[in-house]
Amino acid sequence: MSSGSDKSGLEFLKNKISDERGFNCSYYKESILKRRIDSRMRRAEIDSYRDYVSLLDRSPQEYNALIDTLTVNVTGFFRNPSVFKAMEEVVIPNLLFYKKIQSRKVIRVWSVGCASGEEPYSVAILFRELLGDEIDDYLFFVTATDIDDHMLNKAREGIYTAEQVGNVSKKHLDRYFNEMGGRYQINDSIKRYVKFRHHDVISGEEIHYFDLILCRNLLIYLSREVQDEIFERFLRSLNPYGYLIIGKSETLTPQAARKFELIDLSERIYRKPP
Ligand SMILES: C[S@@+](CC[C@H](N)C(=O)[O-])C[C@H]1O[C@@H](n2cnc3c(N)ncnc32)[C@H](O)[C@@H]1O
């Protein structure tokens, strides 16, 4: 699958996906995309990109499966618990401190690449637990965005298997989920704080005034140049002293590292200077 003619076949396929599905392959790392496309082709027992293109034209199911493979939707409630601990002990208390001294009552969080919703719901649970009933003295909301509509629909529905809520404590499960025949639906006491919408972090319009941005396990698939642009966008999207949290296996680009203040290297927490 790596001969010269197949290289042009791969380019053709990438352009097709970008044109037809709005997933702009040129932003993503070539080696990762190729590995993912090749894995779908192996499953379909096809070994030329041209033949795979005709399969995509015949089979919308295969096209959807390919897009799911390319966007990688792996996620989980309280993924990397130590990050949530740092949010609980450092990020949120500091944020609340600044809100108090500024007499500001709006708290805006952005979960970028929210997949099926576990991350934004986890953050909303954490704020709800820390603020208690005081949460309603604030205008608190989490904007959760993704480019994968299939995932966004799942997130809005908010229904998870017992395995998916495995990381949620019994206390939180009882408080914030309704059990329905072995499945767990996030209830309205949390759902009302989280708004899902389709948005492409690379090419979508800029959104502003966030106190905390989580962009975890998405940047790793993007080229360093695109990452640079996204970090610039985040600087503009954050309020002064606003926090940025990236994935545990991700790093800031050198250019971004000069602009953000480092808060916790091992948890990948940064802050926009005032
Ligand atoms: C591996 S999941 C990460 C989910 C969650 N942030 C976490 O860390 O558990 C990556 C998500 O990023 C989304 N994604 C990929 N490219 C994106 C883009 N350009 N804009 C917004 N979301 C994107 C994918 O659809 C996928 O749902």
State if residue 116 touches ligand 1 by the CB under 6 angstroms criterion: no
Measured distance CA(253)–CA(201) in Å, rounded:
17
H or E segment to which residue 272 belongs: none
Tell me, in angstroms, the distance from the centre of ligand 1 to residue 72's CA: 7
CATH class entry, domain 4-71: mainly alpha
Tell me, in angstroms, the distance from the centre of ligand 1 to residue 100's CA: 33
Tell me, in angstroms, the distance from the centre of ligand 1 to residue 266's CA: 21
Q: Which ligand 1 atom sits closest to the C-alpha of 151? A: 27
Q: Do domains 4-71 and 81-271 have the same CATH topology?
A: no
Measured distance CA(45)–CA(62) in Å, rounded:
13
Per residue of the chain (274 residues), what is the pLDDT tens digit?
544 458 889 999 999 998 888 788 888 888 999 999 999 999 999 999 999 999 999 999 999 899 889 988 889 999 999 999 999 999 999 999 999 999 999 999 999 999 999 999 999 999 999 999 999 999 999 999 999 999 999 999 999 999 999 999 999 999 999 999 999 999 999 999 999 999 999 999 999 999 999 999 999 888 889 999 999 999 999 999 999 999 988 999 999 999 999 999 999 999 999 8
Q: How far apart are the first and last CA of the chain?
A: 51
Q: What does the domain layout of the chain look like in residue ranges?
A: 4-71, 81-271
Measured distance CA(273)–CA(262) in Å, rounded:
10
The protein residue whose alpha carbon is closest to atom 11 in ligand 1 is 113
Tell me, in angstroms, the distance from the centre of ligand 1 to residue 215's CA: 8
State if residue 18 touches ligand 1 by the CB under 6 angstroms criterion: no
Q: Which ligand 1 atom sits closest to the C-alpha of 148? A: 25
Measured distance CA(125)–CA(176) in Å, rounded:
8
Q: What is the 3-state secondary structure (H, E, C) of 15-83?
A: HHHHHHHCCCHHHECHHHHHHHHHHHHHHCCCCCHHHHHHHHHHCHHHHHHHHHHHHCCCCCCCCCHHH
For residue 84, the one-letter residue type is F
Q: Which ligand 1 atom sits closest to the C-alpha of 27? A: 19
Measured distance CA(46)–CA(37) in Å, rounded:
11
The answer to whether 144 and 195 have CB atoms below 8 angstroms apart is yes
- For the domain with range 81-271, which CATH number is right: 1.10.287.610, 3.20.20.370, 3.40.50.150, 3.30.70.2520? 3.40.50.150
Tell me, in angstroms, the distance from the centre of ligand 1 to residue 46's CA: 28
| Closest to 164 (Cα-Cα) out of 88, 48, 79, 90 | 79
